[in-house]
Chains A and B, each alone.
Chain A
């Protein structure tokens, strides 16, 4: 009985990946759990140059979730290679490097810089979906053609798996997923946060200084599951499901909908030990239900006709 999964060629000891932007490079959550028990960590979204991110206020609570507008505060790809990559490797979890850019050229330059370290990296996660920056990211990720064009250029630069993290803030997520597949992506990660707003009724201003932010947490889960299922039906490459996962039952829902693995993170901002607890729960689940391999659940959803 095994909870190991594969996302294309990438082997993970279990389907639990800490989502980019919710775990830094692992250092803080390592104080609360053995990260080596997790499938993988996805790094904080990296940019070519260091970024200070957006001005505070950067968070607003919502029913069953939160809005954030951090704005990709990160030390830049050079500092990542110098101080963070080896740290991520030694945690024992798989290493997914989340790459975000202002332009196509940024993504190309970063993948070129990172590719020589391919022995230490399991996959690139192309962030075409951060809603909190003005250029790149979600702007690219809103157009199937732009996604296809950039993925195909990146495909020529590296043999490492390219996972494309998609935004839900589009008319058709199956179209953007198809664009990624046509460009040569190895997997789709869905979904990034949903664009939202919260208002202070006393000041009549948005609570977030960026005015809008990305919604995450249990409140987005039904939308994420619907989109994972749509994408699973639309493309042949594997899907990594993401959005509001808080329990092992949520993981199972995503896998049944079509996910080969999952990312989670907002829940660890509230309960930092939860990811490892979910791994333990999944182990119990396969034992108790006599399931040979957890991976066999992927895409087993039977729709009502």
Chain B
């Protein structure tokens, strides 16, 4: 039987003004969490808030998430101190499927960079060759830059400002990737909708299998309330779409089945 866990914030690593990596003690989520899955975390507001898992540590029994200030809930979570108590549900959602993946291109943007980190770490452990392309606003915004540099050799960044890596968005980098990297690769994308859509189109045009992690406003996170649905192409003839639950059927979907 699954539970709602009482967890303690054991480490807070501030990343600039509006972002932090929060690490919580929870042996169950540390043991079970997989890349692409998320947790639902309590805050001072009524509903919990969903966050993609950034990493787990089975030895210390902890998991980490990246939080960026979006509204009042995340703002309050970011004011928490080490030792503070939360309740959490998780791991939730389907996560990425690494079965049969020969090589991997990971593309991250915004808070999607946190779950992409978990995927990069996990793939490296499995011995899958990984290329990471992260899109940032600027050098000052390039959180986890050092962390990615440590775990992957093929780490590329783009910035809107051009003060770090390639100037432009992730497409500027992807379109220049060597065939040796792209041929037969699988692509996982987590980031803003427009970014995931553009990367999906690029991946499909180049024959790569591509998976995206969708985001919707959620309530329960466990598939009961149906508020977080996404439009997914219907298999049934004569029907354009079906509403699938982002939290339970996703958040990871095949790029070609998503209706943007």
CA distance A44 to B228 in the complex (A): 16
* B22-30, B62-70, B178-186, B212-220: which lies at the interface: B212-220
The answer to whether B229 touches A58, judged by C-beta atoms less than 8 angstroms apart, is yes
Instruction: Tell me, in angstroms, the Cα distance from A70 to B225 when the chains sit together.
Output: 8
Q: Residues of B contacting A269 with CB < 8 Å? A: 47, 219-220, 224-225
Q: Contact: A31 with B226, CB < 8 Å?
A: no
Interface of A is mostly: loop
Which residues 229-260 of B sit at the A interface, judged by CB distance below 8 A?
229-230, 241-243, 248
| A218 to B219 CA separation, bound complex (whole angstroms) | 15
Whether B248 contacts A28 by the Cβ 8 Å rule is: yes
A21 and B47 CA atoms in complex are apart in Å by 17
Which B residues are in CB contact (< 8 Å) with A53?
Answer: 226, 229, 243
Q: What's the Cα separation between A303 and B91 when bound, in Å?
A: 48
Contacts of B3 on A, CB cut-off 8 Å?
32, 273
- A73 CB contact (under 8 Å) in B216, B220, B222, B229: B229
CA–CA, A99 and B25, complex, Å: 44
Q: What residues of chain B lie closer than 8 Å to A32, measured between beta carbons?
A: 1-4, 222
* Complex CA–CA separation, A269 to B229 (angstroms): 15
Instruction: Determine whether A240 belongs to the interface, using a CB cutoff of 8 Å to chain B.
Output: no
A73 to B226, Cβ gap below 8 A? yes
- Distance of A23 Cα from B89 Cα, bound (Å): 16
Among the 9-residue stretches A60-68, A112-120, A152-160, A185-193, the one with 4 or more Cβ atoms under 8 Å from chain B is A60-68
Give the one of A60, A62, A70 with max B CB within 10 A.
A70
Whether A62 pairs with B46 at a CB distance below 8 angstroms is yes
Q: Are A272 and B1 closer than 8 Å at their CB atoms? A: no
- A169 lies within 8 A of chain B by Cβ: no
Tally of A-B Cβ pairs under 8 angstroms? 96
Beta-carbon contacts of B140-183 to A below 8 Å, as 1s and 0s? 00000000000000000000000000000000000000000000
Q: In the complex, A273→B222 CA distance in Å?
A: 12
Interface of B is mostly: loop
Within 8 A of B (CB), among A47-72: 52-53, 56-66, 68, 70
Is A217 located at the chain interface by the 8 A CB criterion? yes
For window 28-48 of B, CB contacts with A under 8 Å fall at 45-48
Contact (Cβ within 8 A) A28 B222:
yes
Q: Which residues of chain B are near A273, meaning CB under 8 Å? A: 3-4
Is the CB–CB distance between B219 and A66 below 8 Å? yes
A115 and B248 alpha carbons, distance in the complex (Å): 32
For the complex formed, measure the closest distance between the CB of A117 and the CB atoms of chain B, giving whole angstroms.
24
Chain B residue nearest to A60 (CB atoms) is B217
- Give the distance in Å from the alpha carbon of A291 to the alpha carbon of B169 in the complex: 68
Given contacts A29-B222, A44-B226, A56-B229, 16 further A-B contacts (CB under 8 A): A21-B226, A24-B224, A31-B1, A32-B222, A34-B1, A56-B216, A56-B228, A66-B46, A66-B47, A217-B46, A269-B219, A270-B219, A271-B4, A272-B89, A272-B224, A273-B3
Query: Ordered nearest first, which 9 A-B pairs have the shortest CB separation?
Result: A59-B227, A269-B220, A58-B227, A28-B223, A28-B224, A269-B219, A31-B2, A70-B226, A59-B217
Interface residues of A (CB under 8 A from B): 21-24, 27-29, 31-34, 44, 52-53, 56-66, 68, 70, 73, 217-218, 268-273
